[in-house]
Structures are given as structure tokens and as C-alpha cells.
Amino acid sequence: MTRFRRIATEEAFATPEQLALLSEVTRNDDSADAPFWQMMTSGTNPFANRVARQLADIESERLPAMDAFGVDMHVLALTSPGVQMFETGVAADMAARTNDLLADICKRHPTRFAALATIAPQDPAAAAREIERACTTLGLNGVMVNSHTNDEYLDDAKFWPILEAAAALGKPIYIHPRAPSRGMAAPYMQYGLANAIWGYGAETGLHGVRLIMSGVFDRFPNLRIVLGHMGEGLPFWQWRLDYMYTNGSAPRLSLTPGEYMRRNMAITTSGMNWDKVLGFCIDAVGIDNIMWAVDYPYQEHPSAVDFMDAVELPDADKAKLYHGNAERIFGIAPLT
């Protein structure tokens, strides 16, 4: 079997200061993210203890785990919700420190790690400047935004400086899940639905559809948005989005929703190791718009590797999924 370079594109990292402040701000907080972060930082849950330890680690556990399963590179990003639940100034300062740290990790292990910049969308102008610093001075590979910020979405005009900065630099914005915003959260607060089982996808899929329908891809034609988890449901809904968009009213946008998905978006396989869905997504959004991911340490390397190794595709296509598309979209140097 061909040995492909394996670049995993949605891999989480945390700093002690982020985890400590998440514990503090979610203690008396009614957001849908709060129960998860109280559980994660309680110290009493075995799953949470393992994940918290692995989030904070680079050299002692992560690199050996990558080696054990033939994973060449992690594209790192500060774990969701990043700094987006923190007070504006605190968040911006922590974002800059985190980006310095990520750049240092990438410098120490240039073939093993790439990284997406942390930003504080709470201050859009400062976030735009940080995108510029992180992607030019520090050489990071794109931007991570963990869905809503204080219940607001990136299509809001106040956030356009962020979209403009990323588009101007040709760097993608990866929209990673977090729990639903306050306006949609209530029905998700039972049965554990707010988290990865359904709420994350509902929240982040909504974010993607909002971006399409708001027209920001007409305003910023070079903007690239990356969605994890096989596109957070959007590929499945593409036919109906296209049908309903033109049903009974003249198109307001220059392209159909499906055309924006293929021109301005990319998806990853993070945490969704199902060959039938991958096959469908290749038809829906195209082989050039899909990247492999693990979602470490929330999910494990072996099942993601086994899934992609077993997919029946020509080597040229599998090479795109495993590394070629990530090299192109995130500006990662190909192996020579």
C-alpha cells in the first residue's frame, strides 16, 4: 500500500492559562459551553483528565502517538472556544501569547506541526491586525474561529475586518464548533445535546449557512472558510439549499449556495470516519475541497488512519485528502 504523507488538519492544543480561565469564567455562566468546561476542568472525570493532559502536551505524548500511527503532521489550533469567552483585552493578549507559542512549536518541529492563529473576535480591528502578524511575521497557516463570539456570527458587518484580513493574505478561516449560542441553546440543554453529538454541528452548520446567505463571499471572493466534521451537514443539504434559495424569489447572490461551497469553502473529515459520507462529500463539494483530520485528542489517531487507509480511491485522490489539499490551502511546504 502506498505510504502517504498524513497531515491532520483539526488538532487541538491548550495552554494552562486558557484552561484555568475557562474553568473560572464558566463557573457561574449560563452559556451552553459551561457544563462541558466545568466537567473538563473538574479533575474528577477520567475522560476529561486524559484529554486535558493531552491537549497541553506536544513532545512527551503527542509526537510519540503521531509516530505510532504514521501521522506526519498536526495542524494545531487552540482548543475551542479559544479565547472567545474571555474579556476583550484579556482575550487579545492571550491570543497573541498563544500565537507566539504556536510559532515556537512550529519552529522547533517544522515538519511535524503547522498552526492556525488564535484571535479575539471581540475586538475585530485588533483581531485583523493579529491575523496579519500571525500569518506574516510568525508564519502561521490560517486562522481558527470557534463559531459564535458572544452569540454573534462572522457575517455581521462588525467582523468584516477579520474576513478582509484573511482574504487579503490568502489564508483560510477554520470555523470550529462550540456549543450553540444563547438564542438557540435552550432545546440543546437536555440529554447532553449541546456538545459534539449534535449541538456543535447545528451551531457551526448554521454559521456556515449564514456566511453563504449573507453575501460575504460576494464581498470577499477570495475568502476561504474551512468546516470540520464533513462540512457540518452543509454538503447533505446542498441540493435543498440551492432549491430553496431560488424557489419563488430572484437570486440575491451572484452564485448558488452550492457554488459558494465549492469556490469558497473546504471541509475536513475530523471526527467523522465514515467512508459512505466521504464518498458523498467528494461528489457534493469536490475532491480538491476535502482534507483529512483526526480531532485529537478528543478523538483518536487509529480510527482516523484506518478509515482513510481503507477508502477505495485512486492514489492521486487519496494523496489530495491526506496532504495535497492541506499543503495548498494552508500553505504547508510539500515534501521534496
Which residues sit at the interface with Mn ion, rule CB under 5 A? 10, 295
Q: Which is nearer to Mn ion, 178 or 217 (CB)?
A: 178
Q: Please, which contacts does 137-140 make with residues 24 or more away whose CB atoms are closer than 8 Å? A: 138/99, 138/100, 138/102, 138/103, 139/103, 139/106, 140/99, 140/102, 140/103, 140/106, 140/114, 140/115, 140/116
- Catalytic site positions: 295
Please state the φ and ψ torsions of residue 75, each to the nearest 5 degrees: -90, 105
Answer whether 91's CB lies under 8 Å from 83's CB.
yes
Residue the block writes with cell 509516530: 67
Min separation Cβ 25 and Mn ion, Å: 20
Min separation Cβ 182 and Mn ion, Å: 22
Cβ-closest residue to Mn ion? 295
Distance CA 86, CA 92 (A): 9
Distance CA 156, CA 219 (A): 13
Q: Residue type at 77?
A: A
Answer whether 290's CB lies under 8 Å from 267's CB.
yes
Distance CA 254, CA 273 (A): 34
Q: Which is nearer to Mn ion, 176 or 216 (CB)?
A: 176
Min separation Cβ 180 and Mn ion, Å: 16
Min separation Cβ 55 and Mn ion, Å: 11
Min separation Cβ 212 and Mn ion, Å: 22
Give Cα separations from 274 to 292, 305, 306, 307, 321 (angstroms).
12, 12, 11, 7, 14
Q: Which is nearer to Mn ion, 140 or 241 (CB)?
A: 140
Q: Which is nearer to Mn ion, 164 or 232 (CB)?
A: 232
Grid coordinates belonging to 106:
512550529
Q: Which is nearer to Mn ion, 77 or 216 (CB)?
A: 77
Q: Which is nearer to Mn ion, 10 or 33 (CB)?
A: 10
Helix %, strand %, coil % of the chain (to 5): 50, 10, 40
Residue the block writes with cell 487541538: 12
Min separation Cβ 322 and Mn ion, Å: 18
